[in-house]
Amino acid sequence: MLFYVIRRFIYMLIILAVMSVTAFLIIQLPPGDYVEMYIHQLEISGQTVDEAEIASLRRQYGLDLPVYLRYFKWVWGILHGDFGRSLQWGKPVSELIGERLLLTVVVNLFTVIFTYAVAIPIGIYSATHQYSVGDYAFTVIGFAGLATPNFLFALVLMVLFYKYFGLSVGGLFSPEYTTAPWSIAKFVDMLKHLPIPIIVIGTAGTAGLIRVMRGCLLDELRKQYVITARAKGVSERVLLFKYPVRVAVNPIFSTIGWMLPSIVSGGTITAIVLSLPTIGPLLYRALMSEDMYLAGSMVLLLSLLTIVGTFISDLLLLWIDPRIRYEKGG
Amino acid sequence: MKDKRKEISAEEKFYMASQWQLMWRKFRKHKLAIIGGVILAIFYTGAIFCEFFSTQDIYKRYTKYIYCPPQRIHFFDEEGKFHFRPFVCGFKRARDPITWEKIYKEDKSKKYPIYFFVRGDKYKLWNIFPSDIHFIGVKKGGILFLFGTDKLGRDMFSRNLYASRISLSIGLVGVALSFILGSLLGGISGFYGGAADMVIQRIIEFLICIPTIPLWMGLAAAIPTDWPPLKVYFAITIILSFVGWCGLARVVRGKLISLREEDFTMAAKIAGASDGRIIVRHLLPSFLSYLIVNLTLSVPGMILGETSLSFLGLGLRPPVVSWGVLLNEAQNVKTVSMHPWLLIPGLFVIITVLAFNFLGDGLRDAADPYK
């Protein structure tokens, strides 16, 4: 058991290392380097550029070093909390990301909870009432949810709310709380704004999960032990929840690792449309203005979020499903 | 005796049918899949011959008709008389006295009947065959905006059709790329196993656990803005299939590993068949159907990916038109709520993705011999 956890942890570190190389490549891809752009920006704003300052900037970012050394310098900086400076904002990246990272975690976490809370009961209902009106209705809704791109769904919701209620549904806070420090009132305000982003981000995942849950449970219900239990006179409710549901839920939890990347993905694009104060819009703006240090750091952070989330879900699975412990525990 | 031979019973036919015939028979029963297939056939025909089916040039600007709503096609005139040839009406322009916005009102006095095979704007089919015949249209001097116009007064119907060519083909090209990568790497991984398998599996696991959209955004933003459209198109396709091949490689590997242990593979081996013959003759036919299903189900992901990127302005850029590029103009909530027809490309995306899902579902059921 412990061996498995350690192995999994080391594995996660390796993935993170590879991911950091990818993120660094993204930073390096556009032509010209960071300091050149910085100088250019200063010149536009009419400031004079000091030769000594340029040299010190170059040294600070290690631009006089070969690529691989530069990479290590960047990683070293990140390990010490220094993500580089954002060109556009003229601030350290870590300062810009801080609260947004927290909110990103909050939004994604709530989305995962929403997805499971909705998908599992509906999946059970659909499987036990196969080919009923409800089953068909959920199937249609599910397929529509899968087929609608997140951003389009968000856009349509915004348009409808604007047209019929005159409301703007973007953001996570009401204007009066946007810059206010954290308080209970601000938290409550956030909870009020959360449903729409969560529904938008969660639909696709929910739709997929309903299909999986329905399929697994249907397979399980056809098995002999269910017939045996029924023949013995076990009540339907006990019969359903004691075995088949528990077995059918397993594959759903084991795929959480695949669901998380898609939720983070969907969250990014939805956040841009709904202008949530999460990492998504910042990443978008950074990419549009070629603010590569900011962009690279955020691609890395979003991946980090996913990878760590997957790791945690693996541990959860280990705890839920004893079979994995025996199989891989060694 | 001779007569008996002719009358092969339905049951016998069932046993004599090949695997593909059986699949086709099962597939036909899946109504949604048939509908999906028909819709896709129509869309792809429209996309292939988009120059012919469009009603006008997509860059032609009708400066007098900016944000003009879709025209209604009438079969009855104001007296309730039925016309066999449908017609559309012209517009009267006015200004809203309060908001000072343009309003278009149907002008019943101007009627433009719709004809088939009408001569209109010149085009070159596939950039080769010059022509000016359009499938439907109105006579010169009339206007025909079936899906309205955009902010520059360009016809949205034609733009949507041209966009479908890009958006639908990007899915296929992307899937073709993933297919090559996926079946090659998955095949190596599954058939030979060992170190190659180990490396390829780790790569796949890595690619699967990174969130695609941020990665795609990062890569797409790095495409230089001065690249010609065709180059950008292929760059985007490569970026999309960069992640897309993983699922397929897994399917191929899993299937190969299980089939490798089957008795018939062993039998072929004992009979002296070569590796190549075993793969092509015995293994490939057993999971080809799964490959097709998997491919069908991965097209929507590609289409959605391209649409999302272009919507954000990171994918294809005007003057190229794709559904995502068209939706990019519909980012502003106020604009969209006043001109809802700007969202029509979104409708096409949804219908296409649904159709692919239904088709894939039907194919999957048909390909599963145990159902």
CATH, residue B272: 1.10.3720.10
Interface residue B308 vs chain A (CB under 8 A): yes
> Amino acid identity of A143?
F
> CB burial class (10 A; 0-12, 13-18, 19+) of residue A261?
buried
DSSP A67-81: HHHHHHHHHHHHHTT
Give just the sign of the alpha carbon dihedral A24, A28, A29, A35. Answer: positive
The β-bridge relationship of strands B102-125 and B129-138 is antiparallel
Residues B172 and B132 placed together within one structural domain of the fold: no
Predicted confidence at residue B1, as pLDDT, reads 47
Determine the Cα–Cα distance for residues A301 and A279; give it in Å rounded to an integer: 9
Q: Cα angle vertex B132, ends B129, B134, to 5°? A: 105
User: Which residue of A287, A311, A314 is the best one to mutate when testing the B interface, meaning the one whose CB has the most B CBs within 10 A?
Assistant: A287
Summarised one tens digit per residue, pLDDT across range A251-301 is 777 666 667 777 777 778 888 888 788 887 888 887 777 676 777 778 888
Asked if B186 and B84 count as a contact pair (C-beta separation under 8 A), the reply is no
Structurally, how many domains does chain A consist of? 2
Comparing CB atoms, the residue among B209, B221, B311 nearest residue A310 is: B209
Residues A70 and A115 placed together within one structural domain of the fold: no
Calculate helix-pair angle for A279-288, A256-274, nearest 10 degrees. 70
Q: Is residue A93 part of a domain?
A: no
Residues A69 and A109 placed together within one structural domain of the fold: no
Residues B251 and B350 placed together within one structural domain of the fold: yes
Residues B119 and B206 placed together within one structural domain of the fold: no
Distances (CA, A) of A202 to A207, A318, B365: 8, 25, 27
Predicted confidence at residue A330, as pLDDT, reads 37
Contacts of B187 (CB under 8 A, 6+ apart): B252, B253, B256, B279
Half-sphere exposure of A87 (CA within 13 A, CB side): 24
Predicted confidence at residue A329, as pLDDT, reads 41
Element at B220 (helix H, strand E): helix B212-221
Residues A228 and A315 placed together within one structural domain of the fold: yes
Residues B234 and B133 placed together within one structural domain of the fold: no
Summarised one tens digit per residue, pLDDT across range A204-223 is 788 888 888 888 888 888 88
Instruction: Dig out the tokens for B366 from the structure.
Output: 């048909």
Interface residue A290 vs chain B (CB under 8 A): yes
Determine the Cα–Cα distance for residues B171 and A133; give it in Å rounded to an integer: 34
Determine the Cα–Cα distance for residues B11 and B24; give it in Å rounded to an integer: 16
Residues B251 and B331 placed together within one structural domain of the fold: yes
Residues A324 and A278 placed together within one structural domain of the fold: yes
Residues B85 and B175 placed together within one structural domain of the fold: no
Interface residue A212 vs chain B (CB under 8 A): no
* Residue where a domain terminates, one of B150, B175, B190: B150
DSSP B101-159: -EEEEEEEEEEEEEEEEEEEEEEEETTTEEEEEEEEEE-TT----TT-B-TT--BHHHH
- Under DSSP, is residue B88 helix (H, G, I), strand (E, B) or coil? strand
Q: Is residue A85 part of a domain?
A: no
B23: phi then psi, degrees, rounded to nearest 5 = -65, -40
Comparing CB atoms, the residue among A148, A284, A298 nearest residue B350 is: A148
Q: Is residue B273 part of a domain?
A: yes
Supply the CATH number for residue A216's domain. 1.10.3720.10
The β-bridge relationship of strands B82-95 and B102-125 is antiparallel
Domain span at B193: 159-366
ipTM, 2 dp: 0.72
Comparing CB atoms, the residue among A258, A260, A283 nearest residue B217 is: A283
Q: Is residue B351 part of a domain?
A: yes
Domain span at A275: 99-328
Determine the Cα–Cα distance for residues A244 and B24; give it in Å rounded to an integer: 34
Summarised one tens digit per residue, pLDDT across range B35-64 is 888 888 888 888 888 777 777 777 777 777
Q: Taking 50 as the threshold, does the pLDDT of residue B93 lie above it?
A: yes
Asked if A264 and A204 count as a contact pair (C-beta separation under 8 A), the reply is no
